[in-house]
Amino acid sequence: GRARRGPMPDRRFALLLMLPAAAFLAVFVAWPLLKLVVDSLYDIDPLGGTREFVGLDNYAGVLTSPEFLESGLRTAVYTGVVVGMEFVLGLAAALLFHSVGQRSACLRTVFLYPLMIAPVVAGLLWRFLLMDNVGLVNHVLTTLGVLDDPADVGWLSDPDIVLFAVAVPDIWLTTSFMTLVLFAGLQTIPGELTEAARLDGAGPVQRLRRVILPMLRPVIAVALIVRGIDAARAFDIILIQTGGGPQSASETLSLLIYRTAVRFGEPGPASAMGTLYLLAMLAAALVAVATIWRPGKEQ
């Protein structure tokens, strides 16, 4: 009779299990990225369907464009404000939940509710809250005597403050994500370390600086990278509030790329912007890994 075949080797079985994920990444990640890079080298007429190879001309035009440079700076400021505030608030909430222990289970659940709200809905909600004359925020500030008139502060109409105003919904929406990640990291820190530091006379601030934060470095790096990339590509939450205005004061790179590709019908320059955008985020992620995570130097 025929000899029975033995079990499939572990290596082949592992490769077989990876095939669906590899196919998904190839179709939905690798191919769009490749097309983005290729399109950035062409002058494309979306109406006529013609393509003319221009090499690096699109990149030269983008890098010398004041609009691109200003939008890049606004994106960096927006990302820094959003991620910085989320980290501070998220760490404070995570430390509170960790100190309370199991009694904070219900509060943690409620704290995660904003994550269930779509960014478009959150942007629309805060747009109504921050309106000059009829917004609830200015009404409360006027009632408390902080403002003389609800129209004194135009959160979404003043070019000097609008970028920080549109960051508020993003902070409100995803601080709970930062809290969840940092709280999970705190659960992995052995209690003996913090207790030994306390017995050695270290106060709460010293324990945070000398024990907790160093042990949390890998978790912090992951949280900052994930949220940094997500905040840097913010689109719908800003579009629904201001559309990039007033005077392009809240136009980030995502909105500029959208406007260039869709409204102006220039896929070539838009693809060049997108490619540079991806390279900048990759560089920022590598810097975060090297400076915060510091693989091989965990202690």
Question: Which residues span the domain enclosing 239?
Answer: 50-293
The structural domain count of the chain equals 1
62: CATH: 1.10.3720.10
- Tens of pLDDT, residue by residue over 20-64, are 888 888 888 889 889 999 999 999 888 777 889 988 999 999 999
Phi-psi region of 29 (alpha: psi -120 to 50; beta: other; left: phi over 0): alpha
Q: Does 28 reside within a domain? A: no
pLDDT band at 147 (very low <50, low <70, confident <90, very high): confident
Give the tokens for residue 48: 């006529």
- In the prediction, which pLDDT does 112 show? 82
- Least confident among 129-133, 200-204, 292-296: 292-296
Sign of CA dihedral 189, 191, 192, 198: positive
Q: What percent of the chain has pLDDT over 90?
A: 38
- From 80, 82, 97, select the one nearest 182 (Cα to Cα): 97
Dist CA 33 CA 278 (whole Å) = 9
Does residue 246 have a cis peptide bond before it, meaning omega lies within 30 degrees of 0? yes
Partnered with residue 165 across adjacent β-strands are none
Q: Does 287 reside within a domain? A: yes
Distances (CA, A) of 169 to 117, 244, 293: 11, 15, 28
Q: Does 298 reside within a domain? A: no
Q: Does 115 reside within a domain? A: yes
Q: Does 192 reside within a domain? A: yes
Find out whether 58 and 272 touch, Cβ atoms under 8 Å. yes
Q: What is the mean pLDDT of the chain?
A: 86
Q: Does 7 reside within a domain? A: no
Q: Does 31 reside within a domain? A: no
pLDDT band at 1 (very low <50, low <70, confident <90, very high): very low
Q: Does 169 reside within a domain? A: yes
Q: What pTM does this model have?
A: 0.87
